[in-house]
Structure 1
């Protein structure tokens, strides 16, 4: 198996099209056509992690956070980023980062937190805009069923819990081919009228190339008429943060102790205890101050996140309890999840969980 085949599994789980614009995801170091000897999964890629990969015979590191975040203007080893990248290159080790692509995935970072806490009735907290598109095309009536089937196979027509969704309108198409045309129906140089069906299907933006290739490959016409439009609809399966509920309401201090136990944290920074019990829980792994307003609008009793600043806690305004559990702590189970996921997909070489603790924050 080569690196790009491993990448294809990762991008089935978390398509890079849904990563945040500021992020740097994908293959950061290495050649995607290199044969894989082993995969080491980590939260962060540091020099010590590259050393671990060398020791364990892994030439691909799958990292949650990207080691290269901003553009590198030199590679002289003057800081930890450059030293890590240099060591990886010298030892022919590739580095792939998944970061906010997995943050925004339905089965991603925030779903992992929800599952760890046993939350039910889960939904995306901040759905991502601009990720749903619509394809409209026109096809002879006799070819409509076959074309629709191929479009569905390619991933179009999925809406929430439903698939094979389309809208179809019958009408008459007209066209006239020039001297260079080779019409499959009709005669060039002559105006032709054909009973057609207009097919409209929605799709997630990351499959656009595949869907258009399918359309052209299975459409009977020499020239395929189609339209692709971007929709403003929220995508209920793509977005940052999650909302869930406890199976049974808990007293607030009991719940905070429950978080410490389940998330394996030594301390929680929290806002004033303004609610006596907790039922509805919002979570956002990593830096999540931007989600406070969304969590309040959703009626959450608590927002579990990280990296809250002093003034962020004021914005709770007794409407919600803010619980900062630490950046590393909120994302720590991500690497376990990725190891389990890849191990089920790959059986011909080792997928190894990194044992290097990359948390830069220490507690006394």
Structure 2
């Protein structure tokens, strides 16, 4: 198995196209063509994690946070980032980051947080824009079913929890094959009229190349007529943050205790309690203050995230509780998520979880 095989599984789960514009997800160091000796899953890629990879004979680290986030102008070993990169390269260890693309899928980082709280009826808090496209194509009536099947198999036709969605309308297509052509129907040099079906399917933008390849492979015509258009519609399973419901309402202090226990927290920073029970929960792993207004608009009773600044706590405006549980703490179960994604595909391969606690924040009590 090569490193590229591991990367393909990760990118099928969380497509790179879903990462935010500021992000640096992907292969940070290493050669994807190399054979993989083992995978070490971690929240961060640090020197200690590289040492662990060396000790445990893993030549691939899969981390949530990119160790190189901003551009490096020199690599001299003066910072922990530079030292980590130097050590990884010297020991031929690849580092792969799967960051905001893993945040932006409903079963990703936030989904794992929701699992800890047992949330039901989950929905994306801030859907990601420009993630859907539509394909239009035209095919002879008798070949329409086979072509639809190929498009669905390639990943088209999903709307929410419905699959194999398409719209089909019949009409008449015309074409004349010029010299050197071998038309599927009709005669070269003569105008031909063909009963055709116009097929329309929605698809995630990141599978466009795969879908067009499937279209051309399954279509009977030499020259396939098709259109791809960008949609303003949002993909219901991609975007930032998540909302969900507790199976039963809980009093605020009871819920905070439940939250503390579920995430093994030493403390929770939060706004003044509102006096109302908690049932609708909004959350975002990592720094999520940009979603406070979305949580309010969603009528959440509490918003759970991290890295909330002093003045941002005021934005709760006594309409909901804001709870800051810490950056590492909110994303700590991402290691389990990465491990599970890879182990499902490679059950007999060396997919390991780091034993290093990379949390840089300590508390003095």
Bin the TM-score by the shorter chain.
over 0.9
Structure 2 equivalent of residue 110 of structure 1: 110
Q: Aligned partners of 2:252 and 2:348: how far apart in 1?
A: 47
Determine if the alignment matches structure 1 residue 260 to structure 2 residue 260. yes
Determine if the alignment matches structure 1 residue 89 to structure 2 residue 76. no
Structure 2 equivalent of residue 149 of structure 1: 149
Q: Deviations over 1:241-264 (max 9, x none)?
A: 110111111111111111111111
* Residue 189 of structure 1, CA deviation: 2.4
Determine if the alignment matches structure 1 residue 237 to structure 2 residue 237. yes
Q: Aligned partners of 1:260 and 1:51: how far apart in 2?
A: 32
Q: 1:203 aligns to what SS in structure 2?
A: strand
1:200-219 alignment runs, 5 A limit:
200-219=200-219
Is residue 275–residue 321 contact of structure 1 (8 Å, CA) maintained in 2?
no
Q: Deviations over 1:308-357 (max 9, x none)?
A: 11110111111111000010000001102211232222134311110111
Determine if the alignment matches structure 1 residue 120 to structure 2 residue 123. no
* Residue 94 of structure 1, CA deviation: 0.4
Structure 2 equivalent of residue 42 of structure 1: 42
Q: Aligned partners of 1:107 and 1:218: how far apart in 2?
A: 32
The list of structure 1 runs, each at least 4 consecutive aligned residues, that deviate by more than 4 angstroms after superposition, is none
Structure 2 equivalent of residue 295 of structure 1: 295
Q: Aligned partners of 1:72 and 1:314: how far apart in 2?
A: 37
Is residue 343–residue 349 contact of structure 2 (8 Å, CA) maintained in 1?
no
1:1-364 alignment runs, 5 A limit:
1-364=1-364
* Residue 127 of structure 1, CA deviation: 1.3
* Residue 54 of structure 1, CA deviation: 0.1
Q: 1:280 aligns to what SS in structure 2?
A: strand
* Residue 20 of structure 1, CA deviation: 1.0
Q: Aligned partners of 2:347 and 2:54: how far apart in 1?
A: 20
Q: Aligned partners of 2:163 and 2:229: how far apart in 1?
A: 20
Q: Aligned partners of 1:305 and 1:219: how far apart in 2?
A: 48
Q: 1:235 aligns to what SS in structure 2?
A: coil
Gaps of 5+ in 2: none
* Residue 78 of structure 1, CA deviation: 2.1
Q: Aligned partners of 2:236 and 2:344: how far apart in 1?
A: 27
Q: RMSD in angstroms over aligned alpha carbons?
A: 1.1
181-190 vs 124-133, which moves further:
181-190
Aligned length: 364
TM-score (norm 2): 0.97
* Residue 70 of structure 1, CA deviation: 1.4
Q: Aligned partners of 1:71 and 1:20: how far apart in 2?
A: 16
Is residue 243–residue 280 contact of structure 2 (8 Å, CA) maintained in 1?
yes
* Residue 180 of structure 1, CA deviation: 3.8
Q: Aligned partners of 2:218 and 2:235: how far apart in 1?
A: 28
* Residue 287 of structure 1, CA deviation: 0.4
* Residue 294 of structure 1, CA deviation: 0.5
Q: Aligned partners of 1:167 and 1:352: how far apart in 2?
A: 45
348-357 vs 209-218, which moves further:
348-357
